[in-house]
Amino acid sequence: MTIGYRIVKEAAPALISILGKQKFEMGGEYRISDFTIMVNCEEGILYHSCLTGELIVVTDRVCAYQYLVEHWFIVSSDIDEKSKLPNIKKLLRCLSKKQKKGYKTFEVITTTSCNARCYYCYESGFRHMSLNHETAEKVIDFIHLNRCSNRIKLKWYGGEPLMNVKAIDEICEGLLAKEITFKSTMISNGILFSDEVITKAKRLWNLQNVRITLDGTENVYNATKNYKNYVGNPYQKVLNNIDNLLSNGISVTIRLNIEDKNILDVKVLIRLLSDKYRGNNLLDFMLRPLNNTSTNNQIESIGRSRDNILKEITLMKDKLFEEGFLVNCGKLTGLTLCSCIADSGKYIAIKPNGELAYCSSDFDSKTFGSVYSKSPVIPFPELSKQPHEKQAICNDCPLFPICSPSKLCPACLKPICNDMQKTYNIEDVKLTMKKEYRISKTKF
């Protein structure tokens, strides 16, 4: 019997428990949900619900029609979907209070020092400090006492985190001694990944992924990074280190920061990298507009220039995806209470001096506790409880349930969207849909 669809990604269980199935009536009048995004694919059409988080591929719409209705991809023509969201969020909050307290992800800032001098660095002017032995021991104890499970995720950040390898070693050794299972990721410029460090990263740190920024081809990269006291060719060194990471089974995300003056150079770089790494499933790309700090003033001041950059990035991402790479592919979600990871209640950032912060991007000005304190787990900020009011531009946006910038977040002081930004955000979701579909075909 043909059912006409295949589930690629299940809906969020909490949302399904709240929503249940929409009643299907033969002859009823229905329409595509305001929160459904559709993309053509080899087998038919991908349907993703930004309400439930579910993704399916529909091969026969007639056969799949009842399922589409029952699972909220298609809704009764007279339903006001947006008016139901506040009550759904209230019920989600009730369910979230039953979750086990504690953190799942610990972002450890090993040092604020860096061996590069990028002109665009937002950390310029931050206090210089490095995590020492005493603080490392306190970090181990804090993680041990405040984790929500025995399997956690560590994120190493800086400055340049590899300028304090000793702290990473001590924390990992301490957690293993307490029989805490962990995986880790890192944001790094990549130049300090010697053979010895890579071996240690694989065996001791259980490093799964490194995000490395390449600012352009050789001359542009070397001038932008402007490494301190480095003898040799930094660009070639970083490429060699990327090769070594990949050959050791550690995935690499290459981040490309794009602005008006480097668009052509980045296109050349993409051609070089795609030829070099085509077919390597451990490498993906992240393309972002430079200075995308999400404040409305900056977006308005850039204006047409920014819109042009977003259009160019969209074209680059599509080209990379066609060539087999994953790019800017996050996770598909449904309605969530969290405005960002800092608001999830499962994430905490730890500064080099042991102070705690909700976000590594804003840690220099705010403190919410310390690993030296004996107080219980600090409460998460609940940024979602003070969201920005939706604007007219939001009314026809399928991302309505999952977009909730907060008034309390310093990166979202004002609503930040315009038509080009909205299109860009939707295209990112479509790429993620195609990513999930591509992965599902290898398992199906």
Do the Cβ atoms of 371 and 356 come closer than 8 Å? yes
444 residues of the chain, pLDDT tens digit each: 468 999 999 999 999 999 999 999 998 999 999 999 999 999 999 999 999 999 999 999 999 999 999 999 999 999 999 999 989 988 888 877 666 778 899 999 999 999 999 888 876 667 789 999 999 999 999 999 999 888 999 999 999 999 999 999 999 999 999 999 999 999 999 999 999 999 999 999 999 999 999 999 999 999 999 998 888 999 999 999 999 999 999 999 999 999 888 999 999 999 999 999 999 999 999 999 886 443 334 444 456 688 889 999 999 999 999 999 999 878 899 998 776 777 777 888 999 999 988 777 766 666 678 899 876 555 555 666 666 777 888 889 999 999 877 666 656 655 567 888 899 999 999 999 999 999 998 876
DSSP state of 183: E
Report the first-to-last Cα separation within the chain, whole angstroms.
18
**Structure pTM?**
0.89
Record the tokens describing residue 427, joined without a space: 């295209």
User: Which residue segments constitute the domains of the chain, with CATH numbers given?
Assistant: 5-97 (no CATH), 102-242+341-381 (3.20.20.70), 250-330+386-444 (no CATH)
Record the tokens describing residue 151, joined without a space: 């399997």
Q: Residue 385: is it exposed, middle or buried by C-beta count within 10 angstroms (0-12/13-18/19+)?
A: middle
Any residues with CB less than 8 A from the CB of 401 and at least 6 apart, and which? 35, 50, 51, 85, 334, 335, 336
Q: Which of 139, 167, 51 is nearest to 373 (CA)?
A: 139
